[in-house]
Amino acid sequence: MDRIRARIVCVAGARPNFMKVAPILERMAGSAGCEAVLVHTGQHYDEAMSEAFFRDLGIRQPDVSLGVGSETPPRQIARILDRLEPELSRLAPACIVVVGDVNSTLAAALTAAKMGIPLAHVEAGLRSRDRTMPEELNRILTDACADLLFTTERDANENLVREGIDPEAIHFVGNVMIDTLRRFERRARASTILDSMGLEAGGFALVTLHRPSNVDRREDLDRIVTILEGTASRLPVVFPVHPRTRGRLDEAGVASRLEGNPRMRITPPVGYIDFMRLMSAARIVLTDSGGIQEETTALGVPCLTLRENTERPVTISQGTNRLVGSDPARVLAALDEVLRRPLGGEPQVPELWDGRAAERIVAVLERTFGRP
């Protein structure tokens, strides 16, 4: 008797989502028990933030595109709720899979809960305990809606149990971000971006910044500019600028000041393969991104996180990450400390960050929703 494949709707909408959903889609393509339908909300909708990642990661074109575009978070979430509900009614999925902590994640979780559709959350249980961060609220609310919770580290399991989640619903599977990193490592090593930028491996700092706490207010942005200029006085800086960060730099009138610094390379966002090459070759990475904390840990690259907290403590206890806040003196002192250390050494990779997280996730989905 032929097996009926359960329809699983995977919802993604922003750059961090694509790196997490790609290995799940790839694994599900060979599944005997599940078939995947990809819904792209359009939260990130421009070439640099969306379409280039689809090409780099080999993600097939979405089955459904909601096209919500840029808006304030409440309006963006409302648009996704409004546009996703009729699509889910038509598709009648056995389960909805959401990844990460962006607005698209929460909107899909709320839609699933209101429609009574089982929800699986990949990257569940991460907590910064800072509710001023939009992502923290997205994580908490999504986990409260979820029926299956897939975690990347054991601290996340403990967080969920403390919040009253049934331990039977929690599955420690590892990190799908690292699945993607391992899959594309060879291609990243072949990237020519270092040559095109005139960079030497181990001879530059890579910077990414986008969180409101660092770039939205003028006084915060001034501290960031001081850090960038101080870093550039020590070694060349490559800074692929997120669109919202670019807007804040332009509004503050400091973009041209940074671009005029001969030791700074201010670029638009770069594709995944080129960015991986930059990250793996950097002497140090300065960031406020959660995903980059994980990737630098897997690569063994020193990382200074310009925040006072992190939802990924394993990157500190077992990885190369260090929280340094945004005070220029503190950040630059930490930078000098790293630069004094010798290069090399094998990275200590956290448990189950072995490139097989998607395999474990799909196995649980098959057991739960696959039907003979």
Exactly one of 40, 44, 121, 210 is catalytic; name it.
Answer: 210
d(CA 152, CA 297): 13
The reply to whether 171 belongs to the active site is: no
d(CA 25, CA 8): 10
d(CA 82, CA 200): 49
Beta-bridge partner residues of 170: 149
DSSP at 133 = S
Q: What are phi and psi of 265, to 5 degrees?
A: -110, 100
By the 8 A CB rule, do 286 and 238 touch?
A: no
Give the three-state DSSP class for 126: coil
d(CA 34, CA 32): 6
d(CA 280, CA 300): 8
Count of all residues that appear for the chain in the document: 372
Give the three-state DSSP class for 39: strand
Strand order in the sheet with 148-151: 64-65, 34-40, 6-12, 95-99, 119-122, 148-151, 170-172
Q: What are phi and psi of 21, to 5 degrees?
A: -85, -25
By the 8 A CB rule, do 323 and 310 touch?
A: yes
Which among 249, 246, 339, 247 is positioned nearest to 286, based on CA atoms? 339
By the 8 A CB rule, do 241 and 269 touch?
A: yes
Q: The tokens of 47 are what?
A: 């070439």
Dihedral sign from CA coordinates of 294, 12, 133, 119: negative
Active-site residue numbers?
Answer: 210
